[in-house]
Every structure is written in C-alpha cells, then in structure tokens.
Amino acid sequence: MNIPLVMWLLFWFIVIVSLFVDLVILNKHKGNISQKNASIMVSLWISIALIFGFIVYLYLGQSKALEFFTGYLVEYSLSIDNMFVFLMIFSFFNTPKQNQSKVLIYGIIGAVILRFLFVFIGISLINTFSWTVYLFGAILIYTSIKMLQKNKEVAPENNIAYKVLKKIFPLDNNNKTKSFFIKKGKVLYATPMLAAVVVIEMSDIIFAIDSIPAVLSISVDPYIVYTSNIFAIIGLRALYFLLYNLVEKFKFLKFAIAIILLFVGFKMMVSHFISIPTILSLSIIVIILSSSIILSKYNKG
C-alpha cells in the first residue's frame, strides 16, 4: 500500500515538534523531572499516539489503524522493561539525576535514526527471503525464555561499546559534569556522561533486535512499523522518570513482557500456515499486560 506523502510529513512534523518540546521541558526543569510532571508528560505522549492512530484510521483504514495500535502497544511494553535496564546503567555510572535527562534525549534521537535502518532492513529481508520470518520468530522465543530466567543482571562493564570507549579515551570516573570530555593538562578524558550515552545507544541496538521483529509480527508495512516504534520511543524520557520510583510496584511486568514476546514469536513461526487476526493479537496483548498490572497491585508478597 502506497502511503500518501502527507502522512509521512505529518509524522515527521509531530516527531520533530515532540522532541523540541521535550528539550524545552528538559531545560525548564534543569533535567530534574518530578513524578507529577512525568505523569502529565506520559499522558500527553500517549494521547498524541492515540490521536495519530485515529488519523491513520481516517486516511489508511481500520486494518492499518489496528496494526498501528498493536505495534505501538508491543513496543511500549518492551520500552517499559528497557527503562529498568537504563536504571541499572545510570546506577553503574553513578549518573546524577539531573544528567540522566540529557543522556536519555541523546538515546531517543539515536533510536529514531537506528530504528529507521532496522525497520527497512528487516522488512526487506522478510520480503526477499520469506524464511527470515522464522529466524525473527526464533529470536523472540529465545529472548522470552531468557527473560523468564530469574536474577538475570545487566552488566554495563561488559558492554562492547564501553570497552571500546575505554581503549580510545581514559575515563574520569569521578567527573559529574554534563560534558562528554574533560581536559586535564594535555590529556583528554571521557566522562561518565559520555560512557552512559555510549552504553545506552549500544543497548538500544540490542533492544531493537527484539522490538523490531516483534512489531514485524504485526505488520510488514514500513510506515506502520516505523511510526508505531517511534511514537513509543519519543515519550521514553518522561516514562523513565515516572517509573523511577515505581520499579518495585511492577513485579510481574517482566513476566508479562516475556509472555508477549513468546506469543508474537509463535505468531511469526506459524504465519505461513495460520493467520492470526490483528484484533485478536491486540486483545491478547492487552489482557496479558492488564493481568500483570492487576497481579502486581494485589500481590504484596
């Protein structure tokens, strides 16, 4: 299906304005976003995504709108889990809270670019080599099994990008500025700020290996896959600060996300034999997420 140029222009206009607004808010609050403001911003970004989905419905039809909403929900749920990884990364580098916003902004901008490449490469592979759908499905099933393993720790010090950075520049571990580099005498040192950005960008590449195939199980329309991904990503900074003090309250979320990945992986594996309607996929994902939230709320053990 050929997407009208106006739809692409509308999408990029919303993304650019959203990132600009995010930067304005970042500067206004000097990088320290309160729980209340984070809640307002998360609600705003979700509302923008819902409005865009309604526009997709008006211009591209019900089927495409359902694919957009399902893809958005899958990507957003995966993004919530990624926020917990970011918490561990910031903890490892001892990144001050006021610096974390800036790191996340760079991470979001990098993700917008990287996801563009991954989406079109993934779709090209599926269209050229139909068997790659099984490969993507297997990746998702493997990831879901790994997520179900308990006590799985994230180790930023083992990140390949971090190791390469340390070989190029000496690292000043005690520097808490927002600068990427600091000069001491004639030696140029990298700061923990740069290290955090590098590790988060590398982490997003790893996240994309999960999230792009997951959305490709819903649609192989480049417009739907990319826009649903980016609308989930542009609100991540506000989502991070909303979840900052709520990590322990979502104890069943990781299990729910693992089940979702298992489901979409299975859907890809059987896609050549069984067609699972998008509305059914959306319903199953909503039920899984809702159940995890209810169980997290009422299970205090």
Q: Is residue 122 part of a domain?
A: yes
DSSP 211-253: HHHHHHTT---HHHHHHHHHHHHTTHHHHHHHHTTTGGG-TTH
pLDDT at 54: 94
Residue identified by tokens 């590790």 is 199
Q: Is residue 162 part of a domain?
A: no
Q: What's the one-letter identity of residue 103?
A: V
Report residue 33: phi and psi, to 5°. Answer: -95, 125
State what percent of residues in the chain have pLDDT above 90: 9
pLDDT in tens, 13-72: 988 888 787 777 666 665 566 677 778 888 888 899 999 999 999 999 999 999 999 889
Report residue 83: phi and psi, to 5°. Answer: -60, -35
Q: Is residue 206 part of a domain?
A: no
Q: Is residue 169 part of a domain?
A: no
What's the number of domains the chain is made of? 1
Q: Is residue 103 part of a domain?
A: no
Residue 239, pLDDT > 90, answer: no
Which residues 6+ apart lie within 8 Å of 268 measured at CB?
133, 134, 136, 137, 140, 213, 216, 217
pLDDT in tens, 204-214: 776 776 677 77
Q: Is residue 102 part of a domain?
A: no
pLDDT in tens, 62-73: 999 999 998 898
pLDDT at 153: 56
pLDDT at 187: 78
Q: Is residue 183 part of a domain?
A: no
Range of the domain at 53: 5-94+110-147+211-298
Q: Is residue 158 part of a domain?
A: no
pLDDT band at 242 (very low <50, low <70, confident <90, very high): confident
